[in-house]
Chains A and B, each alone.
Chain A
């Protein structure tokens, strides 16, 4: 009975050309051709090579959890392979010095800067809505142009109220654009938004590590980033649908 209902549902989805939303219809991503490695060994091992190409993935987590760091590492790895990458910076928050420190080839990075709205001002809905709308349009243009290895949309500091006003059909549409391409589309946000059937969601939690006992001489030694992989595709983690990878980021040497 259940199998029959499932078959009917799948047939209905296929009839409406929505069969890609079925997790069973997703191709098995293996090898380097279908993934964009993040250059973080433990995470790549958990992700079966890296972020899947042709899918919409997410890197989510609270502030200072290492979202931008992980994204820049993936972009640096992509530029080292010869790919070009694009970042739609919704609120113009990118620090170029950090990009250089991550090892990203700046000549291969297309940086699309949104309006530099302060954190307090983003709560004003007309401003943030317009900013988010323009960022989504820019992402749409970049994905349709094609040829990029990694394309990221940074919605990290956008308030939740503005994110909730984004129509949910936005993400299937973006997923539809990126399907079949060699682009790994990455969404940077504070909470899961797209929940793509083919992509992965990396939920990060960061913890700063300090050295020194004295309060006056304590120094920041690095960050301990814990990534939880959430994916509907079980082959990414045969023990369950969630897995963790620990990334320790040192201020001097970057993540390892």
Chain B
């Protein structure tokens, strides 16, 4: 015997559109869909959320508790009303019949087992649109008219009984498999058994301390005691932790107010090793220590499906995510934030520009190098064309060489702020290089004019390029590290502040 609960009250907000019916939560705090699921779980653990408004549940065996099917339905509706939900309830021998009935008749409706086809015969055929397609389960009857429904109407079928009375072979010949499925639904037959929605388990451990503790060393023992059962729970369910939450309830000096020191760790891979989780939590708390003594510790994880590992016999194995996470946490605690990771080249003219990324090597991917910065190409261009071709010691070989954007790099902070630039004025840019050559290049109207020697630098070789810009129309975009034309405002930058380098 199956029952169906259909929530009839209006949604009050967009949050109610979420389908979280399978989750077990506090009815007083959850959305109406969650509350409806909680009501259903009070009667049976085997419930299936068909839509945010509708839940079907297996009522087998409840007669011994509540009595007749009518009494069960009344109790269901009364419980829903106690939680502030107006709902219809239908009980039938099949899930499909209960779902069709609950959408058609208000109140509590009970269909005796074996009489589903007769009870459904008078119902409009439009009800099938909501029941037939699981993804359209929350669609009101008649709001969508699929082609099949239009065909059935064209045939003159108005009720479910009309469709159920058609010969199945003829329906299959004319409408195919979908027509046969609709006919079975019209007779109240279930296309599949009920799929129980498992409640989301909370992976959380808490410990109230008799005496407040201060410092991380005693906390490590507490965390170890909490992590062990949490890890065992995750292992039993085949889950891993994606995010680790540590909530420390602090004791204030006045004793009246309490604060919660909360830290969340995004783990790079699902992990459930208790020692690793404890180490990561402790290293994070070393960097962000709680400001007061702790009297309650709560550890929770966001579960995710566990990792399935397949090692290769041919490739050298990489460190496991647990090892890498621990290593990176220790290195970060030692060296500081953003001091450890994988470097990434930046597409920029700014000398020595780079960014730091999280170090997460991918197993099996070999031989891909990072983004080659265009500065390198620019330097090569200078070596080959500005200097390499200039064997005569003159700028003759460079004259006329075009400097297309974004090759044209320039800066002149004073001129930027003055805002009055002419095409004849020259700007300078200093690019530090690791080679030991220094030259001065003059350009005019975006063409190279002259090449002059500059003075030497002890550690880095500097190219001093004098070039002519387009005036205030050209600017340096600090966001992308590119020269941009037709931008009105200048944004100064200092290449000297980013001296690279080394020997």
Contacts and interface: CB of A to CB of B under 8 A. Distances in A.
Interface of A: 63-64, 68, 79-84, 93-101, 103-114, 119, 134, 137-138, 141-142, 145-149, 156-157, 182, 208, 212, 214-217, 219-220, 251-252
Contacts of B435: 220, 251
A119 B459 CA distance: 10
Given A111-B343, A113-B335, A105 B503 contact: no
A209 to B, nearest CB: 11
B451 to A, nearest CB: 8
A95 B334 contact: no
A80 B372 CA distance: 17
Give the one of B370, B387, B453 with max A CB within 10 A: B370
Interface in B327-366: 327, 330-331, 334-335, 339-345, 352, 354, 356, 359-362, 364-366
Interface in B358-407: 359-362, 364-373, 375-376, 380, 383, 387-388, 390-394
Nearest to B346: A96
22 contacts: A63-B503, A81-B366, A82-B366, A84-B319, A95-B501, A96-B345, A100-B345, A100-B373, A101-B376, A106-B342, A106-B343, A107-B368, A108-B342, A110-B341, A112-B340, A113-B339, A142-B327, A149-B316, A212-B391, A216-B393, A217-B391, A220-B437
B221 interface: no
A216 B453 contact: yes
B336 to A, nearest CB: 9
Contacts of A252: 380, 383
Interface of B: 315-319, 323-324, 326-327, 330-331, 334-335, 339-345, 352, 354, 356, 359-362, 364-373, 375-376, 380, 383, 387-388, 390-394, 434-437, 453, 459, 500-503
Contacts of A79: 366-367
B250 to A, nearest CB: 31
A141 to B, nearest CB: 5
B376 A64 contact: no
Which 7 A-B residue pairs are closest in the complex by CB-CB distance? A216-B393, A147-B319, A106-B370, A96-B354, A217-B393, A145-B327, A93-B502
Nearest to B341: A111
A134 B335 contact: yes
B175 to A, nearest CB: 55
Contacts of A101: 372, 376
B369 A105 contact: yes
Contacts, number: 152
Contacts of A95: 352, 434, 500-502
B434 A111 contact: no
Nearest to B397: A217
Contacts of A80: 366-367
Contacts of B340: 110-113, 138
Contacts of A63: 503
Given A111-B340, A220-B435, A106 B345 contact: yes
Contacts of A82: 315-316, 364, 366
B127 to A, nearest CB: 56
Given A106-B369, A110-B359, 17 more contacts: A93-B501, A95-B500, A97-B376, A100-B376, A105-B368, A106-B344, A107-B360, A109-B343, A110-B341, A111-B341, A148-B319, A157-B502, A212-B391, A214-B393, A215-B393, A217-B391, A219-B387
Nearest to B353: A96
Contact of A107 (B316, B339, B361): B361
Contacts of B343: 94, 96, 99, 106, 109, 111
Contacts of B369: 100, 103-106
B371 A100 contact: yes
Contact of B352 (A97, A145, A146, A251): A97
A79 B334 CA distance: 26
Given A81-B366, A84-B361, A252-B380, A146 B319 contact: yes
Contacts of B437: 219-220
Contacts of B316: 81-83, 149, 182
Contacts of B388: 219
A138 B316 CA distance: 23
Contacts of B376: 97, 100-101
Contacts of B364: 82
